[in-house]
Amino acid sequence: MAIEFTKYHGLGNDFILIDHRHSPTLTMTPAAAIALCDRHFGIGADGVIFVLPGQDNTDYTMRILNSDGSEPEMCGNGIRCLARFIADLEGLEPDTTKTYRIHTLAGLICPELQPDGQVTVDMGEPRLLAADIPTQLGEAEGKAIAQPLTVAGQDWIVTCVSMGNPHCITFVDDVAAIPLSEIGPQFEHHPVFPQRTNTEFIEVVAPDYVKMRVWERGAGITLACGTGACAAVVAGVLNQKCDRTATVELPGGNLRIQWHPETHHLSMTGPAEKVFTGTWNRIE
């Protein structure tokens, strides 16, 4: 079966975008998504994103399958790519300003196209109670801030935040020195995270500028993570290390994050770029 697709990336976090507006029911199997994302035998991507018809008074619905076939609740870089993909499907000019209401498994998310090509996303409020993240660190109805956690034989101090998907943030002196491929999976699958977790390692350069490396649940090492950047700033504020407005430097580039005190919502601004279009003929 042939599938038309377009590939986009947000700071190197890359996705295969598929127009699924004809049906509200996703039919692609996890095995097919794994094959598509394979960087040697497939197209190559961190995940497959589908645009489906809207529901609950939204314009469209977003569904994602990670490169390991699992389905996350949301993806910050991915939803910026989705917004650009929708604009291309609608035939909008590149400098058009427009806001979309997108239904996701994490709730309503509203990306706004900017005239300079950037996309600003209202990411909603962070969820801070341990039971909502979810994590077994601390009390279920309390916040998991600066909690001790032993991973890979080393003691860490972590803060947990949900941006609709779970994040575990730890502050380090040098993010470049973290053996991410070794310890990332051990964080992700630690038993205190019943739904697994994304893990962010943060180096605070200044209160308004941090460096971040990430191990994403279901995708491994990626060049950027939008929800992770938001969670990192929240954790920085909660631990009195960061301002509410900060630039997050990722291996793929920078994101601008704001945690608004009036609404408690976070906004994320960053790029989304088309790479190429094509047809996949090997879905089995």
- Whether 75 sits among the annotated catalytic residues: the reply is yes
Q: How far is 160 from 231, CA to CA, in rounded Å?
A: 8
Q: How far is 14 from 213, CA to CA, in rounded Å?
A: 16
Burial of 88 (0-12, 13-18, 19+ CB in 10 A): middle
The answer to whether the predicted template modeling score (pTM) of the entire model surpasses 0.75 is yes
Catalytic residue, candidates 75, 81, 160, 168: 75
CB 84 within 8 A of CB 113: yes
How many Cβ atoms from other residues are within 10 Å of residue 115's Cβ?
10
Question: What is the rounded (10 degree) CA torsion for 229, 230, 235, 237?
Answer: 110
pLDDT, one tens digit for every residue, the chain (284 residues): 788 999 999 999 999 999 999 999 998 999 999 999 999 999 999 999 999 999 999 999 999 999 999 999 999 999 999 999 999 999 998 889 999 999 999 999 999 999 998 999 999 999 999 999 999 999 999 999 999 999 999 999 999 999 999 999 999 999 999 999 999 999 999 999 999 999 999 999 999 999 999 999 999 999 999 999 999 999 999 999 999 999 999 999 999 999 999 999 999 999 999 999 999 986 55
Q: How far is 254 from 266, CA to CA, in rounded Å?
A: 16
Catalytic residue, candidates 37, 110, 225, 230: 225
Report all structural domains of the chain as residue ranges with CATH numbers, in order of start: 3-115+271-280 (3.10.310.10), 130-264 (3.10.310.10)
Q: How far is 172 from 118, CA to CA, in rounded Å?
A: 30
How many Cβ atoms from other residues are within 10 Å of residue 237's Cβ?
17
Look up tokens 């047809």; give the residue: 279
Question: What is the rounded (10 degree) CA torsion for 214, 202, 246, 112?
Answer: 10
Give the Cα-Cα-Cα angle 63, 69, 73 (nearest 5 degrees): 35
The amino acid occupying position 177 is: A
